[in-house]
Structure 1
Amino acid sequence: MNQSQDASFQAGQAKGQTQEKANQTLDKASNTVQSAKESCQESGNQMMAKAQEAADAVKDKVGSNN
């Protein structure tokens, strides 16, 4: 292998490694975003449930939940 071929080979290896690292970084970012989304959805569901409980408690107090 001559110097030109060796340099080309090394450049190709570096490009492949860079692409793999970029893909891994994107996968990690995607997983982080998905986790945050699920966490927000769960928090929202908990808030809605608590709000419904509070509304039902008020209705019970004023007697309009019959």
Structure 2
Amino acid sequence: MDSQNTGFQAGQAKGQAQEKGGQMIDKVNNAAQSAKDSCQEAGQQIKEKAQGAADAAKNAVGLNK
């Protein structure tokens, strides 16, 4: 009976470890997606600012007519 109980407890511990591992992977994936979204947003803002600067330069030299 002891070996069955020990086996059951080992199975429970393994299941709990797998669940925690899965939760950690989910957290890492969420963090990675959030970082990716932030980078894309920052890139878009930089692109818009660069376009604005280019337009301002064209206006300053009279090329944007």
> If the length of structure 2 is used for normalisation, what is the TM-score?
0.98
Task: Tell me the percent identity.
Answer: 60
Residue 17 of structure 2 aligns with which residue?
A: 18
Deviations 1:24-48 (A, max 9, x none): 0000000000000000000000000
Deviations 1:5-61 (A, max 9, x none): 001000000000000000000000000000000000000000000000000000001
Aligned residues: 65
Unaligned residue ranges in structure 2 (runs of 5+): none
> If the length of structure 1 is used for normalisation, what is the TM-score?
0.97
- Whether 1:60 and 2:59 are equivalent positions in the alignment is yes
Structure 2 counterparts to residues 1-66 of structure 1, below 5 A: 2-66=1-65
Q: RMSD value over aligned CA atoms? A: 0.4
